[in-house]
Structure 1
Amino acid sequence: MLKVAEQAIEAGMKVLAIGPRSKVPDTRFCRRGWKDATDDIANVKKWLSTDDRINLAASTFGSGICVVDVDGPKGGRAVREIAKLPRTRKSTTPNGTHRYYRYDGDLGGSITKFRPELDLLLNTYVLLPGSKHPEGGTYETADFGAPIARLPEPIADAIRAYRKKTDRPKESSKGRSGFRSGQRNNRLTSIAGALRRQGLEEGQISTALLAVNQSHCRPPLAVSEVERIAHSISSYAPEHEGLFDFMSNLTPRDVHFVWEPYLVQGAVNLLEGDPNVGKTYLLCEIAAALSSGRSLPGQDRGEPRNVLFMSAEDDPETTLVRRLMRMNADLRRISFMRKFLRLEEEVFEHIERHIAEHEVSVVIMDPLLAYMQSGIDMNKANETRPFMARLAELAKARNVTIIALRHLNKADKDKAIFRGLGSVDITAAARSAVMIGLHPEDDQTRVLVHIKHNLSERGATLLYELDGGDRSKGKVPKLVWRGESDLTAEDLAHKSNKVGRPNDASQEAQEFLRRALRTGERRIKDVVRDAERRSISDRTLRKAARTIGVVKKGQTWKLAETPL
């Protein structure tokens, strides 16, 4: 396969690593899919030396090369009706042939089902000879070094005529419903995701999206944009693909960390603690260190990383950015969501695109439970497990480190690992978890304890302080590390009953209400639900509402000083 890869590169194409017996990019080598295709044969050699079972594909993006994909006798007759194909570089597929041709100008993206059993593959990638088809069979060639001929002009004209026909917006009837500007990309992406999960391939997804685009989008998107959506979504494996396999087909994968051993790369990690112990300050310190390449305790200085900081509690402008600046973060590498959205499947897809486009390697979620899909009971394992599995899938597929903050409940537990709010399955799904608490003998010192460590030895307990802050003057404290300790999570448990924001439960509820209602009125049931996630009971919350003079208007609450 290495010789074939060299011939593809010499012709002006790039080469892409594809999973064994798959058409999906192998994220071990090409993390961003086709965007990581290479024209350096040394990279291809490295891929094959790591796993010689992988498939290879030729990327035709921007190369001026297209592939005429002929499947069976019908495809042969269909292409002959347009033009006689000249001899050219060719490979044999399990169902027909791939013929490579050069063309001039812009012919757009692939056209699937251009004629019966005839696809025209442009600005995409195709499996190279030596690759194994997912359904059996091998791509072969007699001479892949043969010259690449010019695409017959009648075929180029047929492509242009097709573009002109499908790019023309249809007249919309007065009052017809559809996907309007601002909705079109999201709706088509959601449809493409649903089709991919059913096992449909890129060509089938593209055909379906083009039909929906013409019938429902007002006005229709450009064909090239629709095909881009289909191609992007098709890079993900469908749910049933590779459901079963044999251990003998696996290559052992090394475990990597962004902060060894506390934060595992490509996995979900938890950061847990009571209120008012500096959890978000610690998240800001981690984001600042990773974005700037600064070392965290126990590690050497590393390469700067891009971070997505998702916070449902702290305002980016008034809180987060000030803390990050105080901790010398590289703000150019830290992105955030301007709007709070629960992680429904469509939002997952937005996040995955952001990760791919901006090369994000760390995602922070503060707090985790706020982002759970609507309708999930956080205390039921059968409901939280699919959500956590989806997070883990995102982490592994994109090789990103997810750091999820979780509050602790107020119940006494025999083991600290069981004190996190919600089902114990949340903890079970994480590969690493740390707990934050106050030092039993010094309220000014915070303690970080490694309470779960599936993929490493337990890390040392670390101490830190929030130094130099003055809230009255608007001065943000700086997080300062104070070395290691012999304290355990159980030592922190004895201190936890004294911790609150502030200590009194009623005052904690009052502070929560002021934050929850600071932007205006909200539905009471939504506020109650969010309070329960912070282990504030309905009774305590309503008592606090009366104490601070929360105004009830129908089924909503607002602060007395907030204008209607």
Structure 2
Amino acid sequence: MMLEKSLADLPATSVRVDFDPVAIMRATMDWYRDLDLPIIPVWGTEDGICLCKYGAECESAGKHPITPLVSSGVKNASLEPKDHRRWLKRYPDMNIATALPEFTVIDCDSREAYMSIRRRFALPTTLIIRTGRGFQLVFRGETRSRTGIMPKVDIKSGANAYVVGAASLHRNGRRYTVWEDEPIADLPPKVEAWIMDDGTPPTPSSHALLIPEGGRNDYLNRELFRLRSQGCDEDQLYEIAATLNHARLDPPLSDKEVGAIVRSAVKGEVRSSKGSRRGSQFVDGEAPELLSFDQVETERIEWLWYPYIARGTLGLLDGFPGEGKSQFLCWLAATISQGRVLPDGDKLPPMKTFLLNFEDLPGAVIKRRLEANRGDLTKVFIQSKRFRLDDEMTQWLSDKMEEHEPALLIIDPIQSFLTEDVDTNNNVSVRHFMERLDDLAKRNDCAVICVRHFGKTKHGRAMLNGIGSTDFVGISRNQLGLAARDDGELGFYVFHMKTNFQRGKSMLFSMSEANGRKGEQPRIGFLDFSEVTADEYLSDDKEKSGPDQDAREDAKEFLQAYLAEGPKKAADCKAQGQARGLSHSTLSRAKDDLNIASYRDGTVWFWKLPDK
């Protein structure tokens, strides 16, 4: 007996397919690595909109590098799995692109263009990637890049070129896929001859004359700035600059010089043949816009240590030599390396620090200071040799910060890292240099602290006592000052001298005894908060400008009596003292003399006598 059923008679069923784009992207990256094709992360798309900051306004949606990860674009292409995992961890929705050193891709932007290439040449079997609208044919062998060699066909080739890779999401919603997974064939000679001989040179304004020494920088500056103003992105500029350098300049510039000119063009600056910048144009080649504040995105400050150190900002620590600045910063690095709570701070996970220091011996001094303060040595890093923070080394440092993701960068002292062209007494020169560090802080969400020495000249305001231009202070979001204790005990005060946020209390730290003969380093300990200001404490005329001894004794008697029954609000202590003719600074000094403790309950500060 035959049993017949129509489809309508069959029960409805559903099949669930789990699609994990992150796992697929990870596997694709490994696949490209096996092909020796280095990759870079590029912005992904969602609903046809680029995930970069320009969103729907982006003209290269899903196709341009994620510069917070690869600040030099295709120059940072990598075959290293650790780089790939780090990129994917930070931007799980990213696309990828493959750099093409020793490879050539015929990039067809439509099926018709792909078929035209097939009809024109008898191509060997090779790797083919299906793109959002067309196909990429991948060959071994390097030639020159060509844009529009025929309708909807581009040639991409060389270390400065890249194409979006498989597993990426096109703005039209289609994913790039492997169309023919075949071994990569050599670039056919006929195709290479066609690429090299047919058509016009790759840049509209190029001509046969060579540019000799004396005019090379200006020529390359003009060409790149013109192309930048026409919308070329950083990677396109690198590609064009490399072509012009070898085709037009006699002799060619070094890669370092070309890179500096490209970066200047991206920033809108014109670089002279001597390496200095002249003039200043639009940032990123675009004119600024005026925004009403309803268009400004609300941002939240991420504190490393509230309210003294904020991530993504530049700060200063000033003080006299030998009074404890480097000791204090080693204590700070050790504390955050273990995730210990800073005074009046919040609980944070263990974090990394870059501690750049040329003045102290790494193994005999700095390492022992970290050990004395119970730091995790695997989370604190130091440079292997001296360097100056010029453009090249700033880029190197930025790359290392992207790799290790430190929460804190210490530069101790800043004078050791200045380039020779920086005039420390010139506001413009100082600000230009410090803007590099401010940019490092913002791009890497890292707190940067620069150490400076106090100068010999005293000012009425302690925040101006540091060596050099006032723009060291002006560009910094927070400025701390440090001075040794004046009561005969080992230790120091840390003052919050300048802030763009909220001023914190001064802090008193102890420093333990240490046997220098045995190589020991002291342990730093937080004792208490203090009301003493840097201006009061660092004054040359403390006795004349501060309270006299009788007033201080009166303040001590008042505090002992007022706090005898138990803790009182700090605000009430000050108000009651003021009612008796005692200034805040007099009360603060008396409080320190009596070792009165400060503590916070919720948002309210209290004072209490020390335990007997």
RMSD of Structure 2 on Structure 1 (CA): 5.3
**Could you tell me how far 1:212 is from its partner in structure 2?**
6.3
**Could you tell me how far 1:81 is from its partner in structure 2?**
3.8
In structure 2, distance between residues paired with 1:204 and 1:82: 31
Residue from 468, 476, 495 that aligns with 1:449: 495
Larger CA Rg, structure 1 vs 2: 2
The residue number in structure 2 matching 1:474 is 519
- Shift of the 196–360 alpha-carbon distance from structure 1 to 2, 3 Å rule, reads farther
Q: Secondary structure at the match of 1:240?
A: helix
- 2:282 matches 1:247: no
Q: Which amino acid aligns with 2:507?
A: L
Residue from 459, 468, 473 that aligns with 2:504: 459
**Could you tell me how far 1:437 is from its partner in structure 2?**
1.0
**1:296-330 deviation line (CA, Å, top 9, x unaligned):** 21223422222221113112122211212222222
Q: Secondary structure at the match of 1:391?
A: helix
**1:467-496 deviation line (CA, Å, top 9, x unaligned):** 121224432111111121111111221269
- 2:323 matches 1:323: no
- 2:418 matches 1:384: no
The residue number in structure 1 matching 2:531 is 486
Q: Which amino acid aligns with 2:330?
A: C
- Shift of the 159–341 alpha-carbon distance from structure 1 to 2, 3 Å rule, reads farther
The residue number in structure 2 matching 1:436 is 482
In structure 2, distance between residues paired with 1:325 and 1:197: 55
Q: Secondary structure at the match of 2:300?
A: coil
- Of the structure 1 ranges 475-484 and 243-252, higher mean CA displacement relative to structure 2 is found in 243-252
Q: Quote the sequence identity (%).
A: 20
- Shift of the 113–285 alpha-carbon distance from structure 1 to 2, 3 Å rule, reads farther
**Could you tell me how far 1:278 is from its partner in structure 2?**
0.2
The residue number in structure 2 matching 1:358 is 404
Residue from 95, 102, 122 that aligns with 1:58: 95
In structure 1, distance between residues paired with 2:453 and 2:90: 48
Residue from 218, 239, 243 that aligns with 1:206: 239
CA contact (8 A) 1:266 1:396 kept: yes
- Shift of the 481–428 alpha-carbon distance from structure 1 to 2, 3 Å rule, reads same
**Could you tell me how far 1:407 is from its partner in structure 2?**
0.8
- 2:170 matches 1:99: no
The residue number in structure 2 matching 1:423 is 469
- 2:179 matches 1:149: yes
Q: Which amino acid aligns with 1:59?
A: I
- Shift of the 420–362 alpha-carbon distance from structure 1 to 2, 3 Å rule, reads same
Q: Which runs of 5+ in 1 are unaligned?
A: 45-56, 92-97, 131-138, 167-190, 217-224, 499-564
The residue number in structure 2 matching 1:18 is 52
**Could you tell me how far 1:451 is from its partner in structure 2?**
1.1
- Shift of the 252–159 alpha-carbon distance from structure 1 to 2, 3 Å rule, reads farther
The residue number in structure 1 matching 2:558 is none
CA contact (8 A) 2:109 2:135 kept: no
CA contact (8 A) 1:440 1:495 kept: no
**1:71-101 deviation line (CA, Å, top 9, x unaligned):** 999999668644799998554xxxxxx5355
- Of the structure 1 ranges 366-375 and 72-81, higher mean CA displacement relative to structure 2 is found in 72-81
- 2:346 matches 1:309: no
- Shift of the 40–396 alpha-carbon distance from structure 1 to 2, 3 Å rule, reads closer
In structure 2, distance between residues paired with 1:349 and 1:211: 24
Q: Which amino acid aligns with 1:310?
A: L
**Could you tell me how far 1:388 is from its partner in structure 2?**
1.1
Q: Which runs of 5+ in 2 are unaligned?
A: 1-18, 30-40, 45-50, 78-83, 100-104, 197-219, 250-254, 269-282, 544-612
- 2:385 matches 1:339: yes
- Shift of the 272–315 alpha-carbon distance from structure 1 to 2, 3 Å rule, reads same
**Could you tell me how far 1:111 is from its partner in structure 2?**
6.2
Residue from 373, 388, 397 that aligns with 2:443: 397
Aligned pairs, number: 430
- Structure with the larger RCO, 1 or 2 (CA within 8 Å, 6+ apart): 1
Structure-to-structure mapping, 1:365-380, within 5 angstroms: 365-380=411-426
CA contact (8 A) 1:108 1:123 kept: no
**Could you tell me how far 1:386 is from its partner in structure 2?**
0.5
The residue number in structure 1 matching 2:154 is 118
Q: Which amino acid aligns with 2:538?
A: A
Name the TM-score, length of structure 2 as normaliser: 0.57
**1:379-436 deviation line (CA, Å, top 9, x unaligned):** 1112111111121112112222211001111222121111111111110100111111
- Shift of the 380–392 alpha-carbon distance from structure 1 to 2, 3 Å rule, reads same
